[in-house]
Amino acid sequence: MNLVDDWKQCRPNIYLYADDAKIYKSVETDDDVNSLQRVVSRIKEWCNSWLLKLNVNKCKVVSYNRKEIIDSNYFIREENTDYKLEKVSSIKDLAVIFDFRLNFRQHIQDKINKAYSMIGLIKRNFIHMDNTFVMLYKSLNTH
């Protein structure tokens, strides 16, 4: 079976951005886990055939679910060794932190912490603050 056949059978979705890819699929049964693993393996084979280096350490697994999560492990074979993909409860993608419940609390807290850090930097470096402070803060914090 080739990549296209496995892709059609598994029916995963993929998001591509620059040199980054996100593969996702609704996993409800062990068959879903196995078919997704086959796709992961085929993608690794495709990368090898095109001499593309896949950084296994950057490959992560995150499950988004309101119900019970099916315990599953995914692997990438590299030089006759199976590397288990790390499971994480949150992941940062395009500067947004997604957690397993999709509630964005961690993302919001991260942005608040960065804003406080920026305010502290400005306060430490400017003794007399007036309207200049607001202008500096807005110009430095464009995110």
Per the prediction, the chain carries an average pLDDT of 83
How much is the average pLDDT of 43-48? Answer: 89
Do 102 and 65 touch, CB atoms closer than 8 A?
no
pLDDT at 118: 85
How much is the average pLDDT of 94-111? Answer: 89
What CA–CA distances, in Å, run from 112 to 13, 105, 130, 137, 143?
33, 11, 22, 14, 11
Residue 4 has pLDDT above 70, yes or no: no
Nearest to 70 by CA among 105, 32, 96: 32
pLDDT at 102: 85
In angstroms, the CA 35 to CA 89 distance is: 22
Q: pLDDT-derived band of residue 110, with 50, 70 and 90 as boundaries?
A: very high
User: Which tops the pLDDT comparison, 134 or 103?
Assistant: 103
What is the tens place of the pLDDT at every residue in 68-77?
Answer: 777 789 999 9
Amino acid at 87: K
In angstroms, the CA 140 to CA 4 distance is: 47
In angstroms, the CA 123 to CA 48 distance is: 52
Do 9 and 35 touch, CB atoms closer than 8 A?
yes
DSSP string, 22-40: EEE----SHHHHHHHHHHH
What is the tens place of the pLDDT at every residue in 20-37?
Answer: 888 888 888 888 888 889
